[in-house]
Amino acid sequence: MTYSWMKLVAASVLMLVFGCAQQSDSRAPESEPDETGRIIGSDDTGFDDSVEASASSAPPFADLTEPAASEPAGGASSDQVPDPPPLAMPSPSGVPSPKKDWPPSMARDDRISFPEPASELGVTGKKILRSGVTQERHGYSPERVYFATNREPDRVKAAAQDPDLYFGDDRGHLVYGTCEVSIPYKRMPGSLPEPSILRLEFSQDPAKHVVLMEIDLLPNAEFWKKLRAAVDASPDRQLLLFVHGYCATFRDAARRTAQMAYDMNYQGPSMFFSWPAGAESESFEEKANYLKDLRRAEESDEDLITVLAGISRYSGAKSIHLVAHSMGNFVLTEALKTIDDRRPAGTEQTPLFDQVALAAPDINAREFVERTGERILPFSRRFTVYASTQDKALRLSKAVNGFEPLGFLNEYSRVGAKKRLFDLVDVSQLTTGWFESGHIYYGDMPEMISDFSFLFRGIQARSLQRGLSETPPVYRLARRGP
């Protein structure tokens, strides 16, 4: 009983320092509409263009059609697209896993494919609009982000008409869609302003706050067509994918994705994968349950594999960049290890990603450096790990899990950098306040937004443009200004 009580207390503290509560914008003064923090990029790429991402050779898009309702493909319903092949891997029709079997929910013949059709749940082709939304958009930019989620819609009555509440914390079928998020013009980069009682604000105002305005659920084929069109319309045919961490709601993920892409002035569509890590309707005890979220993360790698397979085949992106935060790194690395398990012997993995940023990764540092890193290295042209000695959340994670987290700067992360598994960036100096968790710097700090912008343009850590202090094998990112 004492041990269980101690675990609950530790998990409760974890929830607080991991930044489950939304951050206040009180530290950021208002700026003029033409000073929204968008960062204009350089054309200096800093790497050899001879290596192309695997997604650049996407097959013709004409095959992405809905099977006729009267002739379902292999028993699939009419809103499924054809089964995508294994990620950039030439393989026979079936690739059995030596370590892990496909769950019954996955498709036939052990292939990576879409799960059971979401239309059976009656949720595709549905739009959830915030009440009072009009076509007139004054004082803010309506940012469109794409998503894939394996969250079940919340069963509370209010959820059906409220985008903030629509998705819950239970695992369901994988569904796709888009969101609209308001980004106020008068807002500092990195901030996610919300209503404040101190300012006598009692409701969300899209001209003042970052608000999830709508969710548009789409049939699979329509989603991939829209995403492909957005990629084709971007200057460099690139795509940004974000995987959130522990105790993050669907709303949190949508707002953060839109904010990061906007603040970076990202020249391409942005997308997020949201796994069941929390819900607005949860009680405090449920939100504090770190182990529950860890179980949900373990259950979500197959769905992330399906999303990555779809991106690989249908997005048409020449460059795919990824940001994974905290426990989201566990979902990502487990997915990539599973793909590696299923890769036929003797075949080479073609890089899927251009740049991968592992921000505050809540994964076993020793395991990653000694085993996992070598296995997943071929999936990206470059991995970058952002770590800190001031991360209070990962300090508690270390106590709960009994291992050194990769994102908590330590001897293993330094060894990994020496082995050239990743570039290691020390962000300890970004945490200066006693009450700062030191864990959500990846989206909050303008310095991180700026560094992401350089990173996703392929500018290496040693480049003077990044402005990092070079003390190999660790680069340091310092806070600029007061």
- Model confidence over 62-92: pLDDT tens digits? 455 443 333 333 333 334 444 444 454 333 3
Q: Is residue 91 part of a domain?
A: no
The listed range with the strongest mean pLDDT (21-35, 407-421, 429-443, 460-474) is 407-421
Please tell me the predicted confidence (pLDDT) of residue 286. 74
Query: Regarding predicted confidence, which is higher, 367 or 155?
Result: 367
Q: What is the average per-residue pLDDT within 128-136?
A: 76
Tell me the C-alpha distance between 458 and 433, whole Å: 32
Q: What total of structural domains would you count in the chain?
A: 1
Please tell me the predicted confidence (pLDDT) of residue 192. 94
Confidence bin at 282 (pLDDT 50/70/90): confident
Query: Regarding predicted confidence, which is higher, 347 or 60?
Result: 347
- The model's pLDDT over 329-339, given as tens digits with 9 standing for 90+, comes to 999 999 999 99
Please tell me the predicted confidence (pLDDT) of residue 131. 79
Confidence bin at 159 (pLDDT 50/70/90): confident
Q: Is residue 451 part of a domain?
A: yes
Query: Regarding predicted confidence, which is higher, 407 or 55?
Result: 407
- The model's pLDDT over 346-383, given as tens digits with 9 standing for 90+, comes to 888 889 999 999 999 999 999 999 999 999 999 999 99
- The model's pLDDT over 423-474, given as tens digits with 9 standing for 90+, comes to 999 999 998 777 688 899 999 999 999 999 999 999 999 999 999 998 889 9
Measure Cα distances from 192 to 100, 252, 444 in Å.
40, 10, 8
Return the minimum-mean-pLDDT range out of 50-64, 128-142, 191-205: 50-64
**Neighbour-count burial for 396-418, b at 16+ CB within 10 Å, e otherwise:** bbbebbeebbbbbbbebbbbbbe
Tell me the C-alpha distance between 311 and 316, whole Å: 8
Q: Are 347 and 315 in contact (CB under 8 A)?
A: no
Tell me the C-alpha distance between 333 and 324, whole Å: 10
What are the residue ranges of helices labelled H in 220-325?
220-233, 250-264, 284-287, 290-299, 301-314
- The model's pLDDT over 287-330, given as tens digits with 9 standing for 90+, comes to 668 888 999 999 999 999 999 999 999 999 999 999 999 999 99
Please check the confidence at residue 6 and state whether its pLDDT lies above 50.
no
Q: Is residue 180 part of a domain?
A: no
Q: Is residue 371 part of a domain?
A: yes
Q: Is residue 467 part of a domain?
A: yes
Mean pLDDT over each residue of the chain, to the nearest integer: 79
In 3-state terms the chain splits into helix, strand, coil percentages (rounded to 5) of 35, 20, 45
Measure Cα distances from 273 to 145, 150, 221, 235 in Å.
11, 8, 17, 24
Q: Is residue 454 part of a domain?
A: yes
Q: Is residue 356 part of a domain?
A: yes
Please tell me the predicted confidence (pLDDT) of residue 213. 95
Query: Regarding predicted confidence, which is higher, 6 or 166?
Result: 166
Question: Tokens representing 125?
Answer: 């082709």
Please tell me the predicted confidence (pLDDT) of residue 279. 81
CATH code of the domain containing 313: 3.40.50
Please check the confidence at residue 221 and state whether its pLDDT lies above 50.
yes
Residues in contact with 135: Cβ distance below 8 Å, sequence separation at least 6, in sequence order: none
Question: Tokens representing 31?
Answer: 């700026």
Please tell me the predicted confidence (pLDDT) of residue 212. 97
Please tell me the predicted confidence (pLDDT) of residue 365. 98
Please tell me the predicted confidence (pLDDT) of residue 44. 43
Please tell me the predicted confidence (pLDDT) of residue 133. 67
Tell me the C-alpha distance between 311 and 278, whole Å: 25
Cis peptide before 351 (omega within 30 of 0): no
Please tell me the predicted confidence (pLDDT) of residue 287. 67
Domain that holds residue 359: 2-21+44-53+224-243+274-476
Q: Is residue 105 part of a domain?
A: no
DSSP 272-284: EEE-SS--TT--H
Please tell me the predicted confidence (pLDDT) of residue 117. 40
